[in-house]
């Protein structure tokens, strides 16, 4: 028997999904309440009847956007055979940041981090936690590769993780700024070369 989702939960989900692209393309400061009501077709009272304030909507939108990338990444990592291939999943997923399987507006971590650097608050904390989880995921894979005999025991897992994240996020930033998505192909090659340096 199918469990019925409460109306309040369905409404929150609807608002989150309807505003996810809005916050990821216009940013928190650039998104007005009128944008939210236009995107959802709901009244201000309906929005604030389900969320305490605009920041809470933005946090839910960030989580939704990030979950799209996370689900895709985890699925592909689980299907990859080697630890090298598992690490390459990250850059391959982000290579398609303009594709239909990626949140509209690009990487929510990058977008939120750039804006939240000035505004601070809960959005900055959420983006920071996302980066730290990402770093932990990569370090765990590198350690797995070391334990499996794929990577050198002298490998600095944290340095590798930070380098991969920096290459990906820096590549997306430059690609978006210059409107040159092909830059991400260079990033794929750079990450590939970095990982190959780890091999025994």
**In the chain, domain spans:** 61-196
pLDDT band at 119 (very low <50, low <70, confident <90, very high): low
The whole-angstrom separation of Cα 197 and Cα 200 is: 8
The whole-angstrom separation of Cα 149 and Cα 127 is: 33
Q: Is the pLDDT of residue 151 over 80?
A: yes
The whole-angstrom separation of Cα 46 and Cα 49 is: 5
Residues sharing a CB contact under 8 Å with residue 9, sequence separation 6 or more, in sequence order: none
CATH 1.10.357.10 fits 61-196, yes or no: yes
Beta-bridge partners for 151: 199
How does pLDDT run across 33-71, given as a tens digit for each residue? 999 999 999 999 999 999 999 999 999 999 999 999 999
Q: Is the pLDDT of residue 98 over 90?
A: no
What is the model's pLDDT at position 2?
59
Q: Is the pLDDT of residue 3 over 70?
A: no
pLDDT band at 1 (very low <50, low <70, confident <90, very high): low
What is the mean pLDDT of the segment spanning 18-39?
96
Q: Which residue has the higher pLDDT, 56 or 2?
A: 56
């Amino acid at each position: 028997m199918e469990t019925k989702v409460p109306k309040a939960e369905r409404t929150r989900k609807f608002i989150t999904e309807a505003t996810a692209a809005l916050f990821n393309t216009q940013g928190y400061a650039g998104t007005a309440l009128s944008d939210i009501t236009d995107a959802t077709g709901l009244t201000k009272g309906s929005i604030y009847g389900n969320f305490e304030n605009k920041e809470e909507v933005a946090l839910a939108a960030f989580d939704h956007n990030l979950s799209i990338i996370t689900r895709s990444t985890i699925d592909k990592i689980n299907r990859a055979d080697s630890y090298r291939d598992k690490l390459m999943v990250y850059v391959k997923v982000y290579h398609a940041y303009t594709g239909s399987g990626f949140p509209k507006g690009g990487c929510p971590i990058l977008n939120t981090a750039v804006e939240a650097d000035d505004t601070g608050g809960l959005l900055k904390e959420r983006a920071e936690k996302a980066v730290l989880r990402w770093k932990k995921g990569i370090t765990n894979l590198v350690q797995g590769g070391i334990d499996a005999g794929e990577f050198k025991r002298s490998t600095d897992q944290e340095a590798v993780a930070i380098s991969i994240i920096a290459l990906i996020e820096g590549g997306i930033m430059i690609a978006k700024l210059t409107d040159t998505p092909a830059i991400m192909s260079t990033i794929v090659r750079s990450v590939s070369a970095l990982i190959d340096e780890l091999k025994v």
